[in-house]
Amino acid sequence: MPPTRPLLAALALLLPAMAAAAPPMLLTPERVWTGEGASRAGWAVLVADGKVKAVGPAADIAVPPDAERIALPGKTLIPGLMDLHSHVLLHPYNETSWDDQVLKESVEYRVLLAGRHAEAQLRSGFTTLRDLGTEGAMYADVAIKKAIDTGVIPGPRLFVATRAIVASSSYGPNVRAYRPDMHLPEGAQEVTGVDEVVKAVREQAARGADWIKVYADYRTGPDGSSHATFSQEELNALVRAAHDSGRKVAAHASTDEGMRRSVLAGADTIEHGYGGSAATFALMAARKVAYFPTLAAPEATSEYFQKHVRGGPPTPSMQAAARAFALARQAGVTIGLGSDVGVFAHGGSAREAEWMVRLGMTPVEVLRAATVVNAGVLGREQSLGRIAPGFVADLVALDGDPSADIGALRNVRFVMKEGVPFLR
């Protein structure tokens, strides 16, 4: 179909222009939760040029005569949600094992699935994702991000990590499960030594990585237990190279030693942290390293592989996650919302928010984690995560009040990204 490509290209060029030229919009929900304090009944939000122009009591807002009015009766308007640990190139392991996704699914097929995953995320109110590794799909996340940014496909704003960096022979696919003479694709970029580590950071940065993702430990023990993989010197060099290039570092670490080395190296966020000690969480708090507890992931894998029934007694992996979450809170660590979605179905990131409340956070604390706190981790606290004048108009309306009942995050009815309604 020859006309399709020029048409798409024209559309892609047109979409941002259309957003800019759209008339102002006045949103009148039942209440507004701005990112601060309690939700406010009777407030309205004026949006123009992709930004929030005004927020406050409806009577106090000067509404331009050409403004489109969008009534959202019975709904709470909140800032667009953020999940800062996603994998749009993965789908649930009970559908296809991780090994089979990496070894048997073509990158083309995985990218098409990822387009649907991105749309499902946006539809569920998540307007920003930090996508932490393509799991063998090379730099496909950079292409998906571009397709979203140019309006070719709908999806959240993506911060991408490309391939992720792992120590040589310390990641999946697990070569022990295959003939030794088989050459398998790698689930991430494998490196050894300071020079290779630094080179990988620079390569990924050049290819479009917004963040550098490193695996500080993995299941390399003789019994499959997790152990630190990179040396302190390698991690130090990795973080220095990333920071020199203006990129932050997310460290996968499940062991206390992997976490400790990552924090000492200067990593910006710790992912999972299930085996963290009180001392390491205290070190994280002191060095202002944010924590992404990924509580929903062990529940999902327990369902897939250990016959766990949702709501039933927690498995050892779920208990470890709950213990780490409690220690992090006691230590005063900054906790963001990051779920590892992709391990479970896209569009279901609210599951993480529900777990955070179940394990002791208030609904408002969790909403802040998913908005204001996550914006700070991204270094976008001046433009994302709040409903305030000058902030990007990423807005979500849902039935009920999530600041009172976090379950309301399941009831998303309206989604706007950068001033453009996607779902209404």
**Burial of residue 4, with CB atoms counted within 10 A of its CB: 0-12 exposed, 13-18 middle, 19 or more buried:** exposed
Total number of residues that touch Zn ion (CB under 5 A): 1
CB of residue 272 to Zn ion, shortest distance in Å: 8
Smallest distance, Zn ion to C-beta of residue 401, A = 31
Under rule CB under 5 A, residue 141 binds Zn ion = no
Interface with Zn ion in residues 318-347 (CB under 5 A): 340
- Closest CB to Zn ion: residue number: 340
Give 76 or 374: the residue with its C-beta nearer to Zn ion.
Answer: 374
Give the nearer residue to Zn ion in terms of CB position, either 217 or 340: 340
Tell me how far, at minimum, the Cβ of 85 lies from Zn ion, in Å: 6
> If you count them, how many residues does the chain have?
424
Of the pair 340, 418, the CB lying nearest Zn ion is at 340
d(CA 189, CA 168) in angstroms, rounded, equals 8
Q: How far is the CB of 385 from Zn ion (least distance, A)?
A: 22
The sign of the dihedral angle between the CA atoms of 360, 362, 367, 371 is negative
CB of 393 to Zn ion, least distance (A): 29
Shortest Cβ distance from residue 243 to Zn ion (Å)?
A: 22
Question: In what helix (H) or strand (E) does residue 399 lie, and over which residues does it extend?
Answer: strand 395-399
Name the 3-class secondary structure at 17.
Answer: helix
Q: By C-alpha distance, which of 25, 33, 40 is closest to 70?
A: 25
Alpha-carbon gap, residue 79 to 146, rounded angstroms: 23
Copy the structure tokens of residue 57: 């009591």
Distance in angstroms (rounded) separating the CA atoms of residues 414 and 317 = 36
Which amino acid, one-letter code, is at 316?
P
**256 vs 340, beta carbon nearer Zn ion:** 340
Is the Cβ of residue 53 or residue 87 nearer to Zn ion in the bound state?
87
Complex with Zn ion: residue 303 or 340, whichever CB lies closer: 340
Residue 269's closest CA among 247, 282, 252?
252
The DSSP line for 304-327 is HHS---TTSPPPHHHHHHHHHHHH
> Which of positions 146-205 make contact with Zn ion (CB under 5 A)?
none
Q: Which of 99, 381 has the CB closer to Zn ion?
A: 99
- Integer Cα distance of 37 and 22 in angstroms: 31
From the CB of 86, what's the least distance to Zn ion, in Å? 8
Residues that bind Zn ion (CB under 5 A): 340
